[in-house]
A = this chain, B = another copy of it.
């Protein structure tokens, strides 16, 4: 495939050498697609198919994918064709278009402006797959990736260990606010070396649960639009929206910052989603990559050409890494997404439980001496995060070990770069245990920081 549209709008120069070369050769899928439309005898499909009567002992001459009753019996309410065949490498169309509708619905009044710029959703194995595929597309060994110091530890596995790229970090907080200046400085420092910068933002944040208040979301938007206004340099912002919608404070932005800013010359925005949290199916391994194209790209070559060429590149990664994603999970999610109101109603049960824990946690935090353990500001998400305050305080691992041994309380120590603290997953702690949890945190801190 020739990437003429991507060349024309200058997008190829944003990619890593690996991303520039990545493609899915026209091959099996081209010919099986044609055969589906043109053939009476189709010898292109690499899945065993036969008459339902022969395969399942019922169903007559209907042509079905062969499957084992021992497997099918666990999933009685779906048609075998929704379970057993391969999904397309870009994703099941019913799922990816339903997800795009869901994104537009969350856009609310902004959907009208966003829709013409919003690309197709590329299906990935969870948000990890989305991060891996997107980051590899844009950064190669040694390349910088701008990230906050407080970030999901798996970013470093992907960026450093897998890709060999380099996290360029800025402090997440300035006081109790997101550090906009620090973010912009880090981007500028990258631009001194090269013409493109990649930034990953994640709200509600893992590990802190921080979600910017609405006014702050507006300030972040303004800063990024100003920074890129000249169009001389490029910024690619990857929004890791794993926890979108899990916000328990009415002042905080309840939707992704992705919606706050339209892309422009100099600014490409990419939204990464997962059904893991949004539809509460962690083990389904389904996520999406959705790009918003600058208007001048769309004007120059049309959205279809951009979708086709980006789609080929992402399908190339998919095909050469894991081929495609769970058919069943996509089928189920696509079916459920047909009634979004119902899903949102059901999710309220879960967010309600989490919001109660959040309120209790906020209250019980008062028990904890902030000269030892300082809880970071949080308004949402699944976790909160405690800095170990004294510079000469214990290593986070020692505190976590002590919490386990003496107080039978499990936490995750986070200790890398300039961070030394512990992450607490209130998403999985019952409300009635939170007072005791906070007491244990305070006592354990006191034991090790007398």
* B-binding residues in A (CB < 8 A): 18, 21-25, 27-28, 31-32, 34-36, 38-51, 54-55, 63, 65-71, 73-78, 83-87, 124-126, 128-129, 132, 153-154, 157-158, 161-162, 164, 206, 276-277, 279-285, 316-317, 319-329, 331-333, 335-336, 339, 342-343, 346-347, 349-350, 353-354, 382-383, 400, 404-405, 407-413, 423-430, 433, 436-437, 440
Distance, CA A375 to CA B46, complexed state (A): 18
In contact, A427 and B41 (Cβ under 8 angstroms): no
In contact, A46 and B383 (Cβ under 8 angstroms): yes
In contact, B157 and A281 (Cβ under 8 angstroms): no
Distance, CA A54 to CA B342, complexed state (A): 17
**Who on chain B is nearest to A410 by CB?**
B35
- Known contacts A46-B425, A283-B87; decide if A405 and B328 are in contact (CB<8 Å): no
Residues on B with C-beta less than 8 A from A437 are 41, 43
Distance, CA A22 to CA B353, complexed state (A): 39
Give which listed residue, B76, B86, B430, contacts A283 with CB less than 8 A.
Answer: B86
In contact, B346 and A69 (Cβ under 8 angstroms): yes
Residues on B with C-beta less than 8 A from A285 are 125, 285, 322-326
Give which listed residue, B38, B323, B353, contacts A129 with CB less than 8 A.
Answer: B323
In contact, B280 and A48 (Cβ under 8 angstroms): yes
In contact, B43 and A425 (Cβ under 8 angstroms): yes
In contact, B47 and A319 (Cβ under 8 angstroms): no
Distance, CA A55 to CA B283, complexed state (A): 18
- Give chain B nearest CB distance to A363 CB in angstroms: 17
Distance, CA A277 to CA B71, complexed state (A): 13
In contact, A71 and B283 (Cβ under 8 angstroms): no
